[in-house]
């Protein structure tokens, strides 16, 4: 008899624990703040990038990050997250021939090592198309106001691509910019950027070879340690902070 009552008590306890487990509120899944974007260009090339969405939603400008030659969108990860925390939506693209952007529509590998000049000259149009894609698919992101951060070839692609945007960028950060690189010629004599605030990030040994036609003279920052593009930001800690301050202030 005692054994019988023991079994009954055990069953009741098990049911009690099961009810308690069911009564616990289910944890809400965290809202994803990083979205992979992917689209096909007119020439059937697949472009990939990461869109970091601010939470809560914001009307601040879209920040477009374009990496150095031979690098990829991951180099912007820390800066993109910090800007997102400050309320900015950030688009970091893998430029054509880099990172995940290396296949055409038929998944045939298209290595940058075999690119001719006319292929490199498609990068600015890729930047324009990426903004167009975000605007169409993320209507709450403010794509009318943009800020561009570009490193060497990314600076060239960003500046040339920005000339096709309906509105000039509010700000541009140009890290190790070059007058001409892979057939991409920097548009220094255009009036498109008259109202754009420009920051140039250079190594101390770099020569300043360009002067944009802007109302406000470009802010020129030079740092002791060399290296082109994203490498310069990585080895000079002050450069990272200066870029962040230029964007958010």
As a whole number, mean pLDDT of residues 104-126 equals 93
* Average confidence score pLDDT of the chain: 87
What are the C-alpha distances in Å from 152 to residues 25, 72, 129, 176, 210? 51, 13, 20, 5, 14
What pLDDT is attached to residue 11?
43
Label residue 131 by pLDDT band (50, 70, 90): very high
**Buried-state track 76-106, b at ≥16 Cβ within 10 A, e below 16:** beebbebbbeeebbbbbbbbbbbbbbbeeee
pLDDT band at 149 (very low <50, low <70, confident <90, very high): very high
Cα 158 to Cα 29, 116, 146, 184: the distances in Å are 36, 19, 11, 10
* Sign (positive or negative) of CA dihedral 21, 22, 23, 25: positive
pLDDT digits 0-9 by tens, 39-55: 999 999 999 999 999 98
Q: What is the pLDDT of residue 31?
A: 52
Instruction: Give all domains of the chain, ordered by start, each with its CATH number.
Output: 32-248 (3.40.50.1820)
* Predicted pLDDT of residue 211: 76
Q: Say yes or no to pLDDT of 10 above 50.
A: no
| pTM confidence score | 0.85
Task: Looking at mean pLDDT, say which of 31-35, 209-213, 236-240 comes out highest.
Answer: 236-240
């Amino acid at each position: 008899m005692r054994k019988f009552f023991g079994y009954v008590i055990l069953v009741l306890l098990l049911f009690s624990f099961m009810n308690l487990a069911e009564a616990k509120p289910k944890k809400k899944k965290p809202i994803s703040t990083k979205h992979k974007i992917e689209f096909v260009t007119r020439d059937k090339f697949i472009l990939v990038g990461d869109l970091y969405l601010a939470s809560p939603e914001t009307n601040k400008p879209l920040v477009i990050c374009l990496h150095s030659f031979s690098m990829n969108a991951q180099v912007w990860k820390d800066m993109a997250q910090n800007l997102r925390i400050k309320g900015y939506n950030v688009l970091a693209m893998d430029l054509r021939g880099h990172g995940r952007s290396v296949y055409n529509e038929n998944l045939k590998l298209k290595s940058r090592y075999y690119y001719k000049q006319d292929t490199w000259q498609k990068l600015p149009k890729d930047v324009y198309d990426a903004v167009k894609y975000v605007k169409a698919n993320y209507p709450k992101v403010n794509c009318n106001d943009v800020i561009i951060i570009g490193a060497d070839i990314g600076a060239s692609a960003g500046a040339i691509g920005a000339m096709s945007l309906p509105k000039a960028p509010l700000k541009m950060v140009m890290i190790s910019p070059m007058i001409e690189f892979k057939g991409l010629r920097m548009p220094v004599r255009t009036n498109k950027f008259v109202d754009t605030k420009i920051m140039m990030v250079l190594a101390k040994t770099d020569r300043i070879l360009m002067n944009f036609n802007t109302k406000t003279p470009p802010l020129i920052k030079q740092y002791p340690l060399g290296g082109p593009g994203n490498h310069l930001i990585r080895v000079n800690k002050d450069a990272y902070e200066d870029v962040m301050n230029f964007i958010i202030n």
